[in-house]
Amino acid sequence: MSAENQLRERICELARSMFDRGLTAGSTGNISARTEDGGLLVSPTGTSFGRLDPARLSRFDARGRHIDGDRPTKEMPLHSAFYETRGRTAAVVHLHSCHAVALSALPDADAQDFLPPITPYAFMQMGRVQLLPYFRPGDPAIGDAVRGLAGKRSAVMLANHGPVVAGLDLEGACNAIEELEATARLALLLRGTTPNMLTPEQVAELVRIHDVAWDEA
């Protein structure tokens, strides 16, 4: 099996796993991955993560032209913005995961640090997660908002919509977005309590040891 066909199968396998575990529902969510020739494989518009067909994934060449497969997700501006601003990006995943969306709808959500420092794992995999304002799904302005971050974030949360994660490989992007959802769930479970959070010093240590992209925004 060629490397591209293996990638097609893996995209569908990981998407189905996330769907089966309730991380996105119906025909929501989209996923893309870089091919060896610099092109992209992208989930088609209106498709379910639980029923993606490897042969029908949208195929883009290295110049960003749609050359094969079904019509791509309407969130292509979002995916393209990450590939353009974070040069090492090899995959982008966008879900409509329940707990992350719920946390984004709360009035006290922190735009600069969307995820509270409950565990080390979100920091290790994503660094700081930026909460972006609400945009209509498919609005090209979402891509502009991501470009405005100048590549400083590997993960964003679209308010009232869902998380997006860019990764150095496909599995890494999927693992990170699952960690984002798990941390959001913990944050909701702990609301109204006074939990012991990681200290700024502990977060700084994680950033240093794991070479996490970080800034003092």
CA distances from 173 to 29, 32, 68 (A): 14, 10, 24
Buried b (16+ CB within 10 A) or exposed e, 28-52: bbbbbbbbeeebbbbbbbebbbbeb
Q: If DSSP codes are grouped into helix, strand and coil, which group holds residue 204? A: helix
User: Average pLDDT, stretch 79-89?
Assistant: 95
* Residue-level pLDDT at 34: 98
| Three state DSSP letters for 67-135 | EECCCECCCHHHHHHHHHHCCCCCEEEECCCHHHHHHHCCCCCCCCCCCCCCCCHHHHHHCCCEEECCC
pLDDT tens track for 111-154: 999 999 999 999 899 999 999 999 999 999 999 999 999 999 99
Q: What is the domain partition of the chain in residue ranges?
A: 3-209
Q: 3-209 maps to which CATH number?
A: 3.40.225.10
* Residue-level pLDDT at 214: 47
* Residue-level pLDDT at 213: 62
Beta partners for 164? Answer: 94, 156
Binned at pLDDT 50, 70 and 90, residue 28 comes out as: very high
CA distances from 90 to 80, 87, 104, 174 (A): 11, 9, 26, 12
CA–CA separation, 181 vs 178, rounded Å?
Answer: 5
| pLDDT reading at 215 higher than 80 | no
Catalytic positions are 75, 121
* Residue-level pLDDT at 212: 74
Q: If DSSP codes are grouped into helix, strand and coil, which group holds residue 10? A: helix
User: Average pLDDT, stretch 157-165?
Assistant: 98
pLDDT tens track for 37-46: 999 999 999 9
CA–CA separation, 177 vs 159, rounded Å?
Answer: 15
pTM: 0.95
